[in-house]
Amino acid sequence: MTRTGKDYLDALRDGRTIWLDGERVDDLTTHPAFRRSVRSIADLYDLTAEHPETLTASVPGVDGPVSRAYQIPRTKDELKAKGRAFKLWSEATFGFLGRSPDYMASAVAGMATVPGVLARDGFDGSANLLAHWRRMAEGDLYQAHTLVNPQIDRTKAPSEQMEDDLCLRVVAERDDGIVVRGAKMIGTAAALADEILVGVTQRMPPSEADYAVSFSVPVAAPGISFVSRTSYEARATSVFDYPLASRLDENDALVVYDDVFVPWERVFAYRDPEACHAQFWKTPAFVSFVHHGATRFWTKLEFLTGIAILVAKANNVYDMPPVRMQIGKLLSWVNTAKALVVAAEELCEPVPGADAVMPHRETAYAQLAVGPDLYPKVINEIKLLAGGGLIQLPSSYRDLLRPEVAALLGKYVKSPGYDAESRIKLFKLAWDAVGSEFAGRHDQYERFYHGAPHVYLPALVREGDPGRYAALAGRCLDGYELEDG
């Protein structure tokens, strides 16, 4: 069954260990660093009841209806329906919640499509994974993930770091489960979720078996703590001044696992680098990440382009030919982002070994390269369009409430069709989207949320069809000889 926003908020009061500004956070739902952002996530859950036809699905073998993100698409139509569900939620958050609950839900559904890749000599995690998918779907649970070892010395394997337990590893095996110790980065929204899936997407040699483990644990499991980054929500002086940071700060944290016990039934891959790799790359899990991420990215570019249009109109430059060129460029980028989603769905391919389809991998993975390139260009174009208006803004909404200052702002800050309040409101939103610390984090997010480029870009070659392109060039070469002159 699907949850309400209240169900989600109630579940957050479970004693989880979150550190922020030297203090332990007591209750996310009331804390100034989290309360509005968790409310935004709760609003997503509430949207489900308003749009059940888009956001839910009946899934064979699972008590439902469940969130559509947990559905395993069997046909192109089901895959497209999943894309529409991603679009609806991402529009509700303007593309600024990267790790909304549907992100990881769809990857878990991807893993459950071919659980057999986890049936290995030594350990078979396939039944655990299937049971996990069912439990997460039936509970409409919010899963975060930490897949990357902390950035300590990237020239060395996890076992070669200056201490044994810096990267998460198995430290004990018991009859009823395993004990893990170490850290993982970056847990986006992990502090706001119900469970964290730990895994590894990067290939590791057999010598690193202790570090090759995948499992899921509740966020409040004993031994787990989150060291949160600066809270943009807490620093946001008001919703009017920082409309995005104050409400859509999904939080990022170093996640420390200090002798965390994991029962066997929650383990998916155990001391097995191949199984860890297969969990993401031999199932539709990674391409499902990309399907969601690309849909959200398309929405974010739509939103940013909308801001650019409003800013150009507010400055009354919208009809100037060079400005039309700038807006045209933005529209071309929005449609590039859209085309990648539509094409990956339209060209969907069968999942080997399963009665299911997945987005066309080579097309979908193009987003991995295109997204990080496009995002800074979009931001740059909006900054160029907006000029000094992004900076010449009163310090806070309070200036508009103070009659002496409001009189000055009313006289000197306005545009055709915009009084001081509406112009300041628009430009403050634009600043939060392109220039604030929150905006800076999004710039970095769009570059790295899929992992490091040297890890994910080779996937384009591995999972794509480079031979086809080489053959085309080869056919041209074969068409003439030295003797042809």
With residue 130 as reference, give the H or E element that holds it. helix 126-139
Q: Does 166 bind ligand FAD (CB under 6 A)?
A: no
Stretch that binds ligand FAD, among 179-187, 315-323, 427-435, 474-482 (CB under 6 A): 179-187
Quote the least distance from Cβ 341 to ligand FAD, whole Å. 21
**Eight-class DSSP state of 415:** B
52 is written with which tokens? 């059940």
3-state SS class at 174: strand
Q: Give the integer Cα–Cα distance in Å for 385 and 327.
A: 9
Angle at 81 between CA 75 and CA 82, to 5 degrees: 95
457 lines the binding site for ligand FAD (CB under 6 A):
no
Shortest Å distance, C-beta 442 to ligand FAD:
8
Cα→Cα distances 101→20, 227, 336, 457, Å? 23, 21, 26, 25
Query: Phi, psi (5° rounding) for residue 480?
Result: -150, 155
Closest distance to ligand FAD from the beta carbon of 186 (Å): 4
Residue 146 as a binder of ligand FAD (CB under 6 A): the answer is yes
Applying CB under 6 A, among 44, 59, 148, 378 the residue interacting with ligand FAD is: 148
Q: Judge whether 385 and 323 are in contact, CB under 8 Å.
A: yes
300 binds ligand FAD (CB under 6 A): no
Q: Binding to ligand FAD by residue 208, rule CB under 6 A?
A: no
When asked if residue 16 is in the footprint of ligand FAD (CB under 6 A), the reply is no
411 binds ligand FAD (CB under 6 A): no
In the numeric block, the tokens 């009331």 are attached to: 30
Q: Is 154 in the site for ligand FAD (CB under 6 A)?
A: yes
**Selection from 198, 188, 196 nearest residue 253 by Cα:** 188
Instruction: Choose the binding region for ligand FAD from 235-243, 315-323, 389-397, 440-448 (rule: CB under 6 A).
Output: 440-448
Say if residue 3 carries a ligand binding annotation: no
227 touching ligand FAD, by CB under 6 A: no
Contact residue for ligand FAD among 395, 412, 454, 478 (CB under 6 A): 454
Alpha-helical (H) ranges within 318-457 are: 321-346, 361-386, 398-401, 403-412, 420-434, 437-448, 453-456
Select the span of 143-151, 161-169, 286-294, 385-393 touching ligand FAD (CB under 6 A).
Answer: 143-151
Residue 81-110 contact track with ligand FAD, rule CB under 6 A, x = bound: ------------------x-----------
Task: Report if residue 468 touches ligand FAD, rule: CB under 6 A.
Answer: no
The reply to whether 151 sits in an annotated binding site is yes
Is 129 labelled as part of a ligand binding site?
A: no
**Annotated binding-site residue? 154:** yes
The two beta strands, 123-124 and 357-358, are: unpaired
- The dihedral of CA 183, 36, 237, 96: what is its sign? positive
Q: Is 301 annotated to bind ligand? A: no
Q: Please tell me whether residue 252 binds ligand FAD under the rule CB under 6 A.
A: yes
C-alpha span between 429 and 386 (Å, rounded): 12
Q: Which stretch binds ligand FAD (CB under 6 A): 11-19, 61-69, 144-152, 208-216?
A: 144-152
> Burial code of 49-60, b = ≥16 C-beta within 10 A, e = fewer?
eeeeebbbbebe
Q: Which stretch binds ligand FAD (CB under 6 A): 114-122, 129-137, 234-242, 439-447?
A: 439-447
CB of 51 to ligand FAD, least distance (A): 26
Compute the least distance from the CB of residue 452 to ligand FAD, in Å: 4
Q: Which stretch binds ligand FAD (CB under 6 A): 14-22, 84-92, 148-156, 346-354?
A: 148-156
Give the range of 259-267, 285-293, 408-416, 445-453 binding ligand FAD by CB under 6 A. Answer: 445-453
The answer to whether 146 is annotated as binding is yes
Task: Name the residue with the smallest CB distance to ligand FAD.
Answer: 188
- Angle separating helix axes 361-386 and 321-346, nearest 10 degrees: 160
Q: How many CA atoms lie within 13 A of 447 on its CB side?
A: 9
Q: Determine, following the binding rule CB under 6 A, whether residue 185 of this chain makes contact with ligand FAD.
A: yes
Number of other CB atoms surrounding residue 238 within 10 Å: 12
d(C-alpha 23, C-alpha 19), whole Å? 6
Burial of 485 (0-12, 13-18, 19+ CB in 10 A): exposed
Q: Detail the residues annotated as belonging to a binding site for FAD.
A: 145-147, 151-154, 188
Name the residues that contact ligand FAD, by CB under 6 A.
99, 145-148, 151, 154, 185-188, 252, 441, 444-445, 448-449, 451-454
